[in-house]
Chain A
Amino acid sequence: MNKGKKKLGLAAALLTALGLAASAAAGTSLSLVAYSTPKPVLAKIIAAFQKTPQGAGVSFTQSYGPSTNQARAVAAGQPADVLFLSTGDDIDLDVDAGLVDPNWDHQSYDGIAANTVVVFAVRDGNPKHIKGWADLIKPGVQVVTPNPFSSGSAKWNILAAYGAQRRLGKTDKQATQYVKTLFDHVVSQDTSGSNATNTFLSGKGDVLITYESEALNARLQGKNIQYVIPRQTMLIQLPVAVTKSSPNKDTANAFIRYLKSVPAQELFAQYGFRPVNPQVANEPAVKKEFPARPGIFAIDDKYIGGWRNADKVWFDPKHGRMVEIEQADGGPSSG
């Protein structure tokens, strides 16, 4: 008797929950705030989501822009239910503003929706024979990378350069020296990743340090861009999070779950992003498109120590290593 009551209660609760979910979905509008590159793939994923039972009747307000700008806009009050940004650092910015749960990375796949890696875009036929990080500091090689103080993507590039050296057995001092030398070869430090791509496509430089997803995205747009994946490179993890203040948390969470589901992950793969869902990541075609690298490392690598630490050590506007490196680059001895 008692047992039966419990079951009935559970069923009722389930039904209520389902009913709530259904009523929450119908006519709900989600504000999605994202960085620029995934715009085309998100359009596809949203359309697919709206065809699922949870997504039926959900409309989306979408906002795209440079990742850090977007995070700041949300911190300053731009309405947002779902954030999809290019660094965990930018999500942390909204954590600090009290808008995102500090445990956002305790979700499935550590709160990551898709991955990409740091790559070198090169000129047709790779005339300078760029294969690894050591080739970037050979005499006469010109490198294009955005300014790390304004662009999230440049932060990844610098940490990739440093981390790769550590993986190659260099000491902290030697690896930092490498970044310094690398910046002697940097001929343009644009304010954003897309400006840097423009600079490179205009003909400046031999190498553009960029993301695999950016390069593949440029290819999808019909631009002829070749790239090399170095053996030691950084896994760029693209985080997704729901805001604490979201009035549509259930729908927002359903959308995030959908982002990590097989159909959405397949779309990500088609648009140049590395899937996080192993079922898709292990498909032979996907494995071929996104070759594995032995020396791949992520932000929580022991040499880098997570975003909070990396930010303090490298990008603090007063004492960060990059301040000193930029200064050294500006000395009278360098070109």
Chain B
Amino acid sequence: MSDVLLARYADCIFWLARYLERAENLARILDVNETFSRDSHGGQNWRSIVQLNSDDERFFATHSAATAQSVVKFYVIDGDNPTSIVSAIRYARENARTLRPLISTEMWVQLNVFYNRLAALGEGDLMPGRLAALFGSIKEDCQTHTGITEGTFFRDQGWYFYQLGRYIERADQTTRLLDIKYHLLLPSPSAVGSPIDVSQWNALLRSAAGYHAYRRLHTANTTPARVAGFLLLNQAFPRSLHHCVREAGRLLGEVKSRYLLRHGNAAAEELDRLRGVLGTLDISTILGEGLHEFLDLMQQQLIAVTRDLSIAFFGYSPEASQAQTVTPQ
């Protein structure tokens, strides 16, 4: 009947996509860690996941050490931890409940069943021998969601805001993954070129589902710089920062012109600028000027984009948008 989209719905669908993307990324990271951490780096790797999510304080308030068992429990089934997979899917389902008039019944049913399954998991399901299968099924459930959405979600404004959420979250996740792993694996800039543990860099690529694509591109050695360059700047890799930023910018431009939305120019300009930066920089420049600083800046700018979208389209006042971008709904 009409092309209008409630501001609140746009907000919910944006975050629905983000929570699914977040859950999938977390499952990927935990999965790869579980598989590749049985070595000298093992303990440190589990600790790094806690750092990746900036959860040190909350995690160590209830756990004495970051062991495989405690970290997996904290990030998979702990409903009191807002950054756990079960929490992400619970938030996604709550958003989906609000969005039921908008989303397809298939989307809702799959999320409902997915959440009920996660909520029923206990510590017995986290035994080492069962983890790979569990992470596999979580990833698959997330991907099933993506597939059902692609195949059933009506292509109106809601679809654009859904995809915007997905790409912005994915961009953010990629920068966080690289940030923590890079510094863990390469503690000082002077260590560039020193012998490295290739298997760890391969693991990093695997957690971003980028190992095979990377191999096709770089048949020669795995180097930290090349891995970082691939994850940040490659234009064809669907989880690279550059790809995600370009897609987000394209989607925003399209939704604005197709539905004659007057607001959101600040976010559009910001995304455009970011895309320009990512298209001209090379990885050696980024590493030379400091990877961490660069990633931090990228994260800040993605937060700024989310804030602009919240004010322009989701009905937030400038003050409220500040809190909203850092706290899960």
The answer to whether A and B come from one shared complex is no
Chain B residues in the interface with A (C-beta under 8 A)? none
